[in-house]
Chain A
Amino acid sequence: MGNTDSVQRGQARDLLIKQITSHRDDLANRYQQVLRDNLFSNRADLRPSMIKQIASDETEAILNFLNQPEFSNMDRGVQLHKAGLGERTVLRLGQTTRQFLLANLEQDHIPFILEIVDEYEEGVVQGFIKGLEEYHLGEIERTRNALQRGVN
Protein backbone atom coordinates (compact mmCIF):
# COMPACT_ATOMS: atom_id res chain seq x y z
CA MET A 1 0.00 0.00 0.00
CA GLY A 2 1.43 3.39 -0.98
CA ASN A 3 1.65 6.39 1.33
CA THR A 4 -1.31 8.08 -0.34
CA ASP A 5 -3.46 5.02 0.16
CA SER A 6 -2.34 4.76 3.74
CA VAL A 7 -3.31 8.37 4.40
CA GLN A 8 -6.66 7.94 2.68
CA ARG A 9 -7.31 4.77 4.60
CA GLY A 10 -6.53 6.62 7.84
CA GLN A 11 -8.90 9.40 6.84
CA ALA A 12 -11.60 6.87 5.98
CA ARG A 13 -11.13 5.23 9.37
CA ASP A 14 -11.52 8.60 11.12
CA LEU A 15 -14.65 9.31 9.12
CA LEU A 16 -16.08 5.94 10.04
CA ILE A 17 -15.45 6.56 13.73
CA LYS A 18 -17.09 9.96 13.47
CA GLN A 19 -20.05 8.65 11.53
CA ILE A 20 -20.71 5.71 13.83
CA THR A 21 -20.16 7.73 17.01
CA SER A 22 -22.59 10.44 15.97
CA HIS A 23 -25.23 7.97 14.73
CA ARG A 24 -24.64 5.23 17.27
CA ASP A 25 -28.33 4.88 18.18
CA ASP A 26 -29.43 4.77 14.57
CA LEU A 27 -26.97 1.97 13.78
CA ALA A 28 -27.94 0.05 16.92
CA ASN A 29 -31.62 0.39 15.95
CA ARG A 30 -30.87 -1.00 12.50
CA TYR A 31 -29.03 -3.94 14.04
CA GLN A 32 -31.93 -4.47 16.40
CA GLN A 33 -34.32 -4.63 13.45
CA VAL A 34 -32.09 -7.18 11.67
CA LEU A 35 -31.96 -9.30 14.80
CA ARG A 36 -35.72 -9.09 15.24
CA ASP A 37 -36.39 -9.94 11.56
CA ASN A 38 -34.15 -13.00 11.81
CA LEU A 39 -35.18 -14.18 15.27
CA PHE A 40 -36.56 -17.48 14.07
CA SER A 41 -33.47 -18.38 12.05
CA ASN A 42 -31.08 -18.08 15.00
CA ARG A 43 -30.35 -20.74 17.56
CA ALA A 44 -33.10 -21.06 20.12
CA ASP A 45 -30.85 -19.71 22.88
CA LEU A 46 -31.10 -16.20 21.45
CA ARG A 47 -34.32 -14.85 22.88
CA PRO A 48 -36.11 -11.59 22.01
CA SER A 49 -35.20 -9.90 25.28
CA MET A 50 -31.47 -10.17 24.39
CA ILE A 51 -31.71 -8.35 21.07
CA LYS A 52 -31.29 -4.79 22.32
CA GLN A 53 -28.10 -5.63 24.19
CA ILE A 54 -26.58 -7.55 21.25
CA ALA A 55 -27.35 -4.65 18.88
CA SER A 56 -25.75 -2.18 21.23
CA ASP A 57 -22.72 -4.44 21.78
CA GLU A 58 -22.24 -4.82 18.03
CA THR A 59 -22.15 -1.04 17.56
CA GLU A 60 -19.53 -0.81 20.30
CA ALA A 61 -17.57 -3.69 18.79
CA ILE A 62 -17.18 -1.90 15.45
CA LEU A 63 -16.12 1.27 17.20
CA ASN A 64 -13.59 -0.66 19.27
CA PHE A 65 -12.27 -2.31 16.12
CA LEU A 66 -11.75 1.11 14.56
CA ASN A 67 -10.29 2.72 17.67
CA GLN A 68 -8.21 -0.02 19.22
CA PRO A 69 -5.58 -1.89 17.18
CA GLU A 70 -5.55 -4.71 19.72
CA PHE A 71 -9.30 -5.36 19.43
CA SER A 72 -10.00 -8.86 18.11
CA ASN A 73 -12.86 -9.00 15.63
CA MET A 74 -12.41 -12.78 15.58
CA ASP A 75 -13.27 -12.89 19.25
CA ARG A 76 -16.35 -10.84 18.46
CA GLY A 77 -17.37 -13.51 15.93
CA VAL A 78 -16.94 -16.20 18.58
CA GLN A 79 -19.12 -14.11 20.92
CA LEU A 80 -21.85 -13.76 18.30
CA HIS A 81 -21.88 -17.52 17.86
CA LYS A 82 -22.05 -18.01 21.61
CA ALA A 83 -24.97 -15.57 21.80
CA GLY A 84 -26.88 -17.85 19.43
CA LEU A 85 -26.82 -15.93 16.15
CA GLY A 86 -27.26 -17.94 12.96
CA GLU A 87 -25.03 -17.43 9.94
CA ARG A 88 -27.75 -15.57 8.05
CA THR A 89 -28.09 -13.03 10.83
CA VAL A 90 -24.33 -12.49 10.99
CA LEU A 91 -24.23 -11.84 7.24
CA ARG A 92 -27.23 -9.51 7.46
CA LEU A 93 -25.55 -7.51 10.21
CA GLY A 94 -22.55 -7.02 7.91
CA GLN A 95 -24.82 -5.99 5.06
CA THR A 96 -26.54 -3.48 7.34
CA THR A 97 -23.21 -1.96 8.37
CA ARG A 98 -22.20 -1.46 4.74
CA GLN A 99 -25.57 0.02 3.77
CA PHE A 100 -25.51 2.37 6.74
CA LEU A 101 -22.03 3.65 5.98
CA LEU A 102 -22.39 3.87 2.20
CA ALA A 103 -25.55 5.90 2.55
CA ASN A 104 -23.86 8.44 4.79
CA LEU A 105 -20.30 8.89 3.54
CA GLU A 106 -18.73 10.59 0.54
CA GLN A 107 -18.02 8.67 -2.66
CA ASP A 108 -14.24 9.40 -2.54
CA HIS A 109 -13.77 7.33 0.58
CA ILE A 110 -15.93 4.39 -0.38
CA PRO A 111 -13.18 1.97 -1.54
CA PHE A 112 -11.29 2.47 1.72
CA ILE A 113 -14.43 2.29 3.82
CA LEU A 114 -15.41 -0.99 2.19
CA GLU A 115 -11.91 -2.32 2.74
CA ILE A 116 -12.05 -1.52 6.46
CA VAL A 117 -15.59 -2.82 6.92
CA ASP A 118 -14.78 -6.00 4.99
CA GLU A 119 -11.72 -6.53 7.16
CA TYR A 120 -13.95 -6.30 10.22
CA GLU A 121 -16.56 -8.66 8.75
CA GLU A 122 -13.96 -11.19 7.63
CA GLY A 123 -12.61 -11.52 11.14
CA VAL A 124 -16.12 -11.74 12.58
CA VAL A 125 -17.09 -14.50 10.15
CA GLN A 126 -13.86 -16.40 10.83
CA GLY A 127 -14.52 -16.15 14.57
CA PHE A 128 -18.12 -17.22 14.09
CA ILE A 129 -17.00 -20.34 12.19
CA LYS A 130 -14.37 -21.04 14.84
CA GLY A 131 -17.07 -20.83 17.52
CA LEU A 132 -19.28 -23.17 15.52
CA GLU A 133 -16.47 -25.71 15.09
CA GLU A 134 -15.58 -25.60 18.77
CA TYR A 135 -19.23 -26.07 19.64
CA HIS A 136 -19.55 -29.16 17.42
CA LEU A 137 -16.32 -30.69 18.69
CA GLY A 138 -17.49 -30.16 22.27
CA GLU A 139 -20.82 -31.80 21.45
CA ILE A 140 -19.11 -34.83 19.93
CA GLU A 141 -16.89 -35.22 22.97
CA ARG A 142 -19.79 -34.88 25.40
CA THR A 143 -21.91 -37.34 23.41
CA ARG A 144 -19.09 -39.89 23.42
CA ASN A 145 -18.52 -39.57 27.17
CA ALA A 146 -22.23 -39.67 27.98
CA LEU A 147 -22.87 -42.71 25.82
CA GLN A 148 -19.90 -44.47 27.33
CA ARG A 149 -21.22 -43.81 30.83
CA GLY A 150 -24.78 -44.70 29.81
CA VAL A 151 -23.70 -48.01 28.29
CA ASN A 152 -21.58 -48.88 31.33
Chain B
Amino acid sequence: MPQDNIVDASKPSAGRMYDYYLGGNHNFEVDRQAADQVLKLVPFISKFLRLQRWALQDVAVELTKNRGYDVIIDFASGLPTADHIHYNVPDGTTVIYSDIDPIVAEYAREILKGTKNVYFFQSDARKPEELLHHPEVEKILGSQRKVAFVYWGVSAFIPDAAISHMAEYLYDWAAPGSCLAFNAQGADANPDDPASVQVLKIYEQMGSEMYFRPLKKFRDLIQPWKPDDNDFVSLLAWHGFDESIISKDDMGSVGPMGGGYGAYLVK
Protein backbone atom coordinates (compact mmCIF):
# COMPACT_ATOMS: atom_id res chain seq x y z
CA MET B 1 0.00 0.00 0.00
CA PRO B 2 1.25 3.49 -0.81
CA GLN B 3 2.85 5.36 2.05
CA ASP B 4 1.92 8.89 3.03
CA ASN B 5 0.01 10.74 5.74
CA ILE B 6 -3.58 9.69 6.30
CA VAL B 7 -4.84 13.03 7.66
CA ASP B 8 -3.08 15.60 5.45
CA ALA B 9 -6.00 16.82 3.34
CA SER B 10 -4.03 19.52 1.54
CA LYS B 11 -3.01 17.19 -1.28
CA PRO B 12 -4.15 13.82 -2.61
CA SER B 13 -2.71 10.80 -0.86
CA ALA B 14 -2.01 7.57 -2.74
CA GLY B 15 -3.04 5.58 0.35
CA ARG B 16 -6.41 7.29 0.66
CA MET B 17 -6.98 7.03 -3.10
CA TYR B 18 -6.40 3.30 -2.71
CA ASP B 19 -9.08 3.30 -0.02
CA TYR B 20 -11.44 5.19 -2.35
CA TYR B 21 -10.89 2.75 -5.23
CA LEU B 22 -11.88 -0.04 -2.84
CA GLY B 23 -15.04 1.76 -1.73
CA GLY B 24 -13.74 2.79 1.70
CA ASN B 25 -14.53 5.86 3.80
CA HIS B 26 -11.03 6.97 4.72
CA ASN B 27 -10.58 9.49 1.94
CA PHE B 28 -11.14 13.18 1.29
CA GLU B 29 -12.51 15.20 -1.60
CA VAL B 30 -8.99 15.96 -2.82
CA ASP B 31 -8.29 12.21 -3.04
CA ARG B 32 -11.56 11.43 -4.79
CA GLN B 33 -10.88 14.07 -7.43
CA ALA B 34 -7.41 12.66 -8.15
CA ALA B 35 -8.69 9.09 -8.07
CA ASP B 36 -11.54 9.94 -10.45
CA GLN B 37 -8.96 11.34 -12.86
CA VAL B 38 -7.11 8.02 -12.73
CA LEU B 39 -10.33 6.04 -13.09
CA LYS B 40 -11.22 8.01 -16.20
CA LEU B 41 -7.91 7.00 -17.72
CA VAL B 42 -7.92 3.37 -16.56
CA PRO B 43 -11.36 2.33 -15.23
CA PHE B 44 -10.08 -1.19 -14.57
CA ILE B 45 -7.99 0.08 -11.65
CA SER B 46 -10.80 -0.34 -9.13
CA LYS B 47 -11.32 -3.95 -10.28
CA PHE B 48 -7.58 -4.57 -10.29
CA LEU B 49 -7.27 -3.40 -6.69
CA ARG B 50 -10.15 -5.59 -5.62
CA LEU B 51 -8.53 -8.63 -7.23
CA GLN B 52 -5.40 -7.74 -5.29
CA ARG B 53 -7.23 -7.22 -1.99
CA TRP B 54 -9.29 -10.41 -2.32
CA ALA B 55 -6.12 -12.37 -2.93
CA LEU B 56 -4.67 -10.97 0.29
CA GLN B 57 -7.58 -12.52 2.19
CA ASP B 58 -6.99 -15.85 0.47
CA VAL B 59 -3.31 -15.55 1.37
CA ALA B 60 -4.19 -15.20 5.06
CA VAL B 61 -6.25 -18.39 4.91
CA GLU B 62 -3.69 -20.32 2.87
CA LEU B 63 -0.74 -19.40 5.09
CA THR B 64 -2.44 -20.35 8.32
CA LYS B 65 -5.09 -22.99 7.72
CA ASN B 66 -3.37 -24.81 4.84
CA ARG B 67 0.33 -24.21 5.42
CA GLY B 68 0.31 -24.06 9.21
CA TYR B 69 2.11 -20.79 9.90
CA ASP B 70 1.17 -19.23 13.22
CA VAL B 71 3.11 -15.98 12.81
CA ILE B 72 2.39 -13.54 9.99
CA ILE B 73 4.42 -10.39 9.49
CA ASP B 74 2.84 -7.92 7.10
CA PHE B 75 4.54 -4.90 5.52
CA ALA B 76 2.86 -1.65 4.39
CA SER B 77 -0.40 -2.91 5.83
CA GLY B 78 -2.55 0.20 5.66
CA LEU B 79 -5.55 0.11 7.98
CA PRO B 80 -6.46 -3.30 9.41
CA THR B 81 -10.08 -3.07 8.25
CA ALA B 82 -12.55 -5.94 8.18
CA ASP B 83 -11.03 -7.53 5.09
CA HIS B 84 -7.48 -7.67 6.42
CA ILE B 85 -5.33 -10.59 7.51
CA HIS B 86 -6.34 -11.01 11.15
CA TYR B 87 -10.00 -11.46 10.21
CA ASN B 88 -9.12 -14.50 8.13
CA VAL B 89 -6.79 -16.47 10.39
CA PRO B 90 -7.47 -18.93 13.22
CA ASP B 91 -7.49 -17.71 16.82
CA GLY B 92 -4.03 -17.81 18.32
CA THR B 93 -2.26 -16.68 15.15
CA THR B 94 0.18 -13.86 15.81
CA VAL B 95 -0.24 -11.08 13.24
CA ILE B 96 2.26 -8.23 13.11
CA TYR B 97 1.15 -5.37 10.89
CA SER B 98 3.22 -2.33 9.95
CA ASP B 99 2.90 0.93 8.09
CA ILE B 100 5.12 3.95 7.60
CA ASP B 101 2.40 6.49 8.44
CA PRO B 102 2.28 7.25 12.19
CA ILE B 103 -1.38 8.25 12.04
CA VAL B 104 -2.28 4.99 10.29
CA ALA B 105 -0.45 3.20 13.09
CA GLU B 106 -2.46 5.08 15.73
CA TYR B 107 -5.74 4.53 13.94
CA ALA B 108 -4.87 0.88 13.45
CA ARG B 109 -4.21 0.42 17.17
CA GLU B 110 -7.62 1.94 17.82
CA ILE B 111 -9.24 -0.54 15.43
CA LEU B 112 -7.33 -3.44 16.94
CA LYS B 113 -7.86 -2.41 20.55
CA GLY B 114 -8.33 -5.58 22.59
CA THR B 115 -7.68 -7.95 19.66
CA LYS B 116 -5.46 -10.70 21.01
CA ASN B 117 -2.12 -11.50 19.33
CA VAL B 118 -2.50 -8.76 16.72
CA TYR B 119 0.00 -5.89 16.74
CA PHE B 120 0.66 -2.80 14.70
CA PHE B 121 3.97 -0.94 14.39
CA GLN B 122 5.11 2.11 12.52
CA SER B 123 7.78 0.96 10.09
CA ASP B 124 9.04 1.48 6.53
CA ALA B 125 8.43 -1.46 4.17
CA ARG B 126 11.62 -0.57 2.32
CA LYS B 127 13.61 -1.32 5.48
CA PRO B 128 12.27 -4.55 6.99
CA GLU B 129 15.09 -4.52 9.55
CA GLU B 130 13.31 -1.59 11.26
CA LEU B 131 10.33 -3.77 12.03
CA LEU B 132 12.16 -7.00 12.81
CA HIS B 133 14.51 -5.28 15.23
CA HIS B 134 11.85 -3.26 16.97
CA PRO B 135 12.25 -4.21 20.65
CA GLU B 136 8.55 -5.14 21.02
CA VAL B 137 8.64 -7.27 17.87
CA GLU B 138 11.74 -9.04 19.13
CA LYS B 139 9.91 -9.70 22.39
CA ILE B 140 6.81 -11.04 20.60
CA LEU B 141 8.81 -13.33 18.31
CA GLY B 142 11.43 -14.49 20.80
CA SER B 143 13.62 -16.94 18.93
CA GLN B 144 10.97 -17.83 16.34
CA ARG B 145 12.27 -17.39 12.80
CA LYS B 146 9.98 -19.74 10.87
CA VAL B 147 7.33 -17.26 9.85
CA ALA B 148 5.20 -16.11 6.95
CA PHE B 149 5.88 -12.64 5.56
CA VAL B 150 3.34 -10.76 3.50
CA TYR B 151 4.42 -8.10 1.01
CA TRP B 152 1.19 -7.37 -0.80
CA GLY B 153 -0.15 -4.40 -2.74
CA VAL B 154 2.92 -2.26 -2.34
CA SER B 155 5.67 -3.34 -4.75
CA ALA B 156 4.62 -0.94 -7.54
CA PHE B 157 5.58 1.88 -5.16
CA ILE B 158 8.97 0.47 -4.20
CA PRO B 159 12.16 1.05 -6.23
CA ASP B 160 14.14 -1.93 -7.53
CA ALA B 161 16.98 -1.61 -5.02
CA ALA B 162 14.58 -1.56 -2.07
CA ILE B 163 12.75 -4.70 -3.29
CA SER B 164 16.06 -6.50 -3.64
CA HIS B 165 17.14 -5.37 -0.19
CA MET B 166 13.81 -6.46 1.34
CA ALA B 167 14.01 -9.90 -0.29
CA GLU B 168 17.60 -10.53 0.71
CA TYR B 169 17.15 -9.25 4.24
CA LEU B 170 14.05 -11.32 4.94
CA TYR B 171 15.66 -14.42 3.42
CA ASP B 172 18.71 -14.09 5.63
CA TRP B 173 16.65 -13.40 8.74
CA ALA B 174 14.11 -16.20 8.30
CA ALA B 175 14.50 -19.88 9.12
CA PRO B 176 14.23 -22.53 6.38
CA GLY B 177 10.58 -23.36 5.75
CA SER B 178 9.56 -19.70 5.95
CA CYS B 179 7.36 -18.17 3.29
CA LEU B 180 6.99 -14.77 1.66
CA ALA B 181 3.58 -14.10 0.10
CA PHE B 182 4.51 -11.63 -2.60
CA ASN B 183 2.36 -9.53 -4.92
CA ALA B 184 4.07 -8.49 -8.15
CA GLN B 185 1.93 -5.39 -8.34
CA GLY B 186 1.51 -3.86 -11.78
CA ALA B 187 3.57 -6.64 -13.38
CA ASP B 188 3.32 -6.76 -17.17
CA ALA B 189 1.36 -3.50 -17.29
CA ASN B 190 2.43 -1.31 -20.16
CA PRO B 191 4.17 1.85 -18.94
CA ASP B 192 4.27 3.23 -22.50
CA ASP B 193 0.51 3.13 -23.05
CA PRO B 194 -0.76 6.76 -23.18
CA ALA B 195 -3.19 6.19 -20.29
CA SER B 196 -0.45 4.55 -18.20
CA VAL B 197 1.89 7.45 -18.91
CA GLN B 198 -0.68 9.88 -17.53
CA VAL B 199 -1.46 7.72 -14.48
CA LEU B 200 2.24 7.42 -13.65
CA LYS B 201 2.54 11.19 -14.01
CA ILE B 202 -0.37 11.84 -11.62
CA TYR B 203 1.23 9.66 -8.95
CA GLU B 204 4.65 11.17 -9.55
CA GLN B 205 3.23 14.67 -9.06
CA MET B 206 1.78 13.49 -5.75
CA GLY B 207 5.22 12.33 -4.66
CA SER B 208 4.31 8.63 -4.90
CA GLU B 209 6.35 7.38 -7.80
CA MET B 210 5.13 4.12 -9.34
CA TYR B 211 7.15 1.46 -11.14
CA PHE B 212 5.63 -0.85 -13.76
CA ARG B 213 7.87 -3.84 -14.36
CA PRO B 214 7.65 -7.05 -16.33
CA LEU B 215 7.15 -10.18 -14.24
CA LYS B 216 10.61 -11.33 -15.31
CA LYS B 217 12.13 -8.31 -13.56
CA PHE B 218 10.23 -9.16 -10.36
CA ARG B 219 11.63 -12.71 -10.53
CA ASP B 220 15.13 -11.25 -10.46
CA LEU B 221 14.38 -8.78 -7.69
CA ILE B 222 12.96 -11.33 -5.25
CA GLN B 223 16.06 -13.56 -5.30
CA PRO B 224 17.07 -15.68 -3.40
CA TRP B 225 13.41 -16.55 -2.68
CA LYS B 226 11.84 -19.03 -5.09
CA PRO B 227 8.16 -19.38 -5.93
CA ASP B 228 6.57 -22.66 -4.85
CA ASP B 229 5.21 -25.15 -7.41
CA ASN B 230 2.25 -22.90 -8.20
CA ASP B 231 4.67 -20.22 -9.44
CA PHE B 232 3.34 -16.69 -9.96
CA VAL B 233 -0.41 -16.71 -10.63
CA SER B 234 -2.11 -13.78 -12.33
CA LEU B 235 -4.73 -12.26 -10.05
CA LEU B 236 -7.33 -12.82 -12.76
CA ALA B 237 -6.68 -16.56 -12.76
CA TRP B 238 -6.38 -16.53 -8.96
CA HIS B 239 -10.08 -15.65 -8.70
CA GLY B 240 -11.30 -17.62 -11.70
CA PHE B 241 -11.75 -14.67 -14.03
CA ASP B 242 -10.46 -14.28 -17.54
CA GLU B 243 -9.60 -11.23 -19.61
CA SER B 244 -13.25 -10.68 -20.54
CA ILE B 245 -13.59 -8.47 -17.45
CA ILE B 246 -11.00 -6.07 -18.89
CA SER B 247 -12.07 -3.61 -21.60
CA LYS B 248 -9.94 -3.32 -24.73
CA ASP B 249 -8.78 0.16 -23.71
CA ASP B 250 -7.86 -0.96 -20.20
CA MET B 251 -5.97 -3.92 -21.60
CA GLY B 252 -3.68 -1.50 -23.40
CA SER B 253 -2.47 -0.21 -20.05
CA VAL B 254 -2.84 -3.06 -17.55
CA GLY B 255 -2.12 -5.88 -20.01
CA PRO B 256 -4.08 -9.11 -20.59
CA MET B 257 -3.17 -10.54 -17.18
CA GLY B 258 -4.87 -7.73 -15.29
CA GLY B 259 -1.80 -6.00 -13.93
CA GLY B 260 -0.61 -8.22 -11.15
CA TYR B 261 0.47 -11.63 -9.95
CA GLY B 262 0.77 -13.32 -6.61
CA ALA B 263 3.10 -16.04 -5.43
CA TYR B 264 4.16 -17.92 -2.33
CA LEU B 265 7.93 -17.61 -2.22
CA VAL B 266 9.70 -20.18 -0.11
CA LYS B 267 13.02 -20.63 1.61
Minimal beta-carbon separation of B107 from chain A (angstroms): 4
Flag whether A145 is at the interface (Cβ < 8 A): yes
Segment at the interface with B among A17-25, A42-50, A112-120: A42-50
Minimal beta-carbon separation of A147 from chain B (angstroms): 7
Say yes or no: B239 contacts A150, CB within 8 Å: no
Q: Which residues between 44 and 65 of chain A lie within 8 Å of chain B, taking CB atoms?
A: 44-45, 47-49
Q: Which residues between 1 and 45 of chain B lie within 8 Å of chain A, taking CB atoms?
A: 7, 22-25
Say yes or no: B111 contacts A142, CB within 8 Å: yes
Flag whether A84 is at the interface (Cβ < 8 A): yes
Total cross-chain contacts (CB, 8 A): 62
**Provided the pairs A40-B47, A43-B23, A146-B110 are in contact, do residues A48 and B54 lie with their beta carbons within 8 angstroms?**
yes
Say yes or no: A47 contacts B54, CB within 8 Å: yes
Q: Mark each residue of chain A from 75 to 89: 1 if its CB lies under 8 Å from any CB of chain B, else 0.
A: 000000010101000
Say yes or no: B83 contacts A84, CB within 8 Å: yes
Chain A interface size, as a band, is: 20 to 34
Flag whether A143 is at the interface (Cβ < 8 A): yes
Number of interface residues of B (CB under 8 A): 27
Q: Mark each residue of chain B from 43 to 67: 1 if its CB lies under 8 Å from any CB of chain A, else 0.
A: 0001101100110011000000000
Flag whether A92 is at the interface (Cβ < 8 A): no
**Provided the pairs A40-B50, A149-B110 are in contact, do residues A48 and B103 lie with their beta carbons within 8 angstroms?**
no
Minimal beta-carbon separation of B44 from chain A (angstroms): 10
Say yes or no: A44 contacts B54, CB within 8 Å: yes
A106 contacts across to B, CB distance below 8 A: none
**Provided the pairs A45-B81, A146-B110 are in contact, do residues A40 and B54 lie with their beta carbons within 8 angstroms?**
no
Say yes or no: A48 contacts B240, CB within 8 Å: yes
Q: Which of B22, B107, B108 contacts A44 (CB 8 A)?
A: B22
Flag whether B231 is at the interface (Cβ < 8 A): no
Flag whether B256 is at the interface (Cβ < 8 A): no
Q: Which residues between 130 and 152 of chain A lie within 8 Å of chain B, taking CB atoms?
A: 136, 139, 142-143, 145-147, 149-150
Say yes or no: A44 contacts B23, CB within 8 Å: yes
Measured between alpha carbons, how far is A86 from B53 in the docked complex, in Å? Answer: 17
Q: Mark each residue of chain A from 13 to 41: 1 if its CB lies under 8 Å from any CB of chain B, else 0.
A: 00000000000000000000000000110
**Which residues of A are at the interface with B, using a C-beta cutoff of 8 A?**
39-40, 43-45, 47-49, 82, 84, 86, 136, 139, 142-143, 145-147, 149-150
A-B contact pairs, 10 of them (CB 8 A): A40-B46, A44-B54, A45-B57, A45-B83, A47-B239, A48-B240, A136-B25, A143-B107, A147-B7, A150-B7
Extra contacts, 20 of them, besides A44-B50, A49-B57, A150-B103 (Cβ < 8 A), are A40-B46, A40-B50, A43-B83, A44-B49, A44-B54, A45-B82, A47-B53, A47-B83, A48-B240, A84-B83, A86-B23, A142-B107, A142-B110, A142-B111, A143-B107, A146-B103, A146-B110, A146-B111, A147-B107, A150-B106
